């Protein structure tokens, strides 16, 4: 049984046409998209910029309003709730954003950043327990515990993304939505973060929705790949099927655009 399922998700945006007096018109960003994520597995979501990948990720997290469709976490209909999902559900599904510079509060120390979700989701924890959990989280993402009192600007981009991953794990999440988490990093650092995500998945049994445009990265991580084009999923399959035996013309064009030496 899938741990997270999105069924026929529709998201509409309004945009103004050309000209100052032009009327607003509706733009359908997602046209009935359905995906399912299995426990302990990674679903890779690929497509060009503007295809709707990040919109789907945000819709699943309820950070983006859904015009139609349903989102289930296990047997719980997440889409039936308002934007303020119950904490028990929010605790189980967390997100790692593309840019750690924007997703971490520059005025908080790492200890405060990692303690905040603990205070919200586990109010019974005292300061000592929270401090121990922060140290555990830093060790999980391979950062020295001594760095807990530093601020985000004192870290490299890769280290900041490790902190963002640690924050997502603070609530003992079972599903982590990764919205292009390595696209802003150097290639060598990308490899380190990918290895970390694989290690965490193996030891914690995490399920990932991995959004990316780097096909090599997605191929390395994913157990199943979904290809998005203009708000629709046009092809799904195993990495080998999608990357070596693509059926849809869009997937073929997407792969043909990858530089080769």
Whether the CA torsion 127, 133, 137, 138 is positive or negative: it is positive
- Tokens found for residue 201: 């998945």
Write down the pLDDT at residue 81. 76
Contact 113, 168 (CB under 8 A): no
In sequence order, which residues have a C-beta less than 8 Å from that of residue 37 and are 6 or more positions away?
A: 2, 3, 4, 5, 43, 175, 207, 208, 209
Write down the pLDDT at residue 19. 62
Put residue 202 in one of left, alpha, beta given phi > 0 → left and psi -120 to 50 → alpha: alpha
CATH classification code of 4-256: 3.40.50.300
- What is d(CA 44, CA 222) in angstroms, rounded to the nearest whole number? 5
Mean pLDDT per 10-residue segment, the chain (261 residues): 94 76 80 95 93 93 90 87 72 90 92 96 94 97 95 94 96 94 86 94 96 89 95 95 94 86 67
Give one DSSP letter per residue of 150-218, joined into a string: S-GGGS-HHHHHHHHHHHHHTTT-SEEEEESTTTTS-HHHHHHHHHHHHHHHHHH--EEEEEES-HHHH
Cα dist from 26 to 29, 30, 60, 261, whole Å: 9, 12, 21, 43
Write down the pLDDT at residue 22. 64
- Domain ranges across the chain: 4-256
């Amino acid at each position: 049984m899938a741990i997270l399922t999105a069924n026929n998700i529709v998201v509409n945006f309004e945009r103004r046409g050309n000209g100052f007096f032009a009327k607003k018109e509706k733009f359908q960003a997602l046209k009935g998209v359905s995906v399912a994520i299995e426990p302990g597995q990674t679903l890779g979501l690929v497509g060009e910029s503007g295809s709707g990948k990040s919109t789907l990720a945000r819709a699943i997290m309820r950070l983006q309003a859904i015009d139609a469709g349903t989102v289930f976490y296990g047997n719980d209909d997440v889409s039936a709730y308002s934007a303020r999902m119950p904490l028990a559900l929010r605790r189980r599904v967390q997100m790692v954003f593309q840019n750690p510079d924007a997703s971490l509060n520059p005025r908080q120390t790492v200890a405060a950043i990692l303690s905040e979700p603990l205070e919200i989701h586990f109010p019974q924890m005292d300061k000592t327990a929270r401090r121990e959990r922060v140290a555990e989280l830093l060790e999980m993402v391979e950062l020295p515990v001594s760095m807990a009192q530093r601020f985000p600007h004192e870290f490299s981009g890769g280290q900041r993304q490790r902190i963002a991953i640690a924050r997502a794990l603070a609530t003992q999440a079972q599903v982590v939505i990764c919205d292009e988490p390595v696209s802003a990093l150097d290639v060598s650092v990308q490899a380190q973060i990918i290895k970390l995500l694989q290690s965490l998945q193996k030891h914690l049994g995490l399920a990932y929705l991995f959004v990316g445009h780097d096909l090599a990265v997605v191929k390395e991580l994913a157990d199943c790949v979904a290809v998005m084009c203009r708000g629709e999923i046009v092809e799904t399959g195993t990495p080998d099927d999608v990357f070596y035996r693509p059926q849809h013309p869009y997937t073929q064009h997407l792969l043909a655009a990858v530089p080769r030496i």
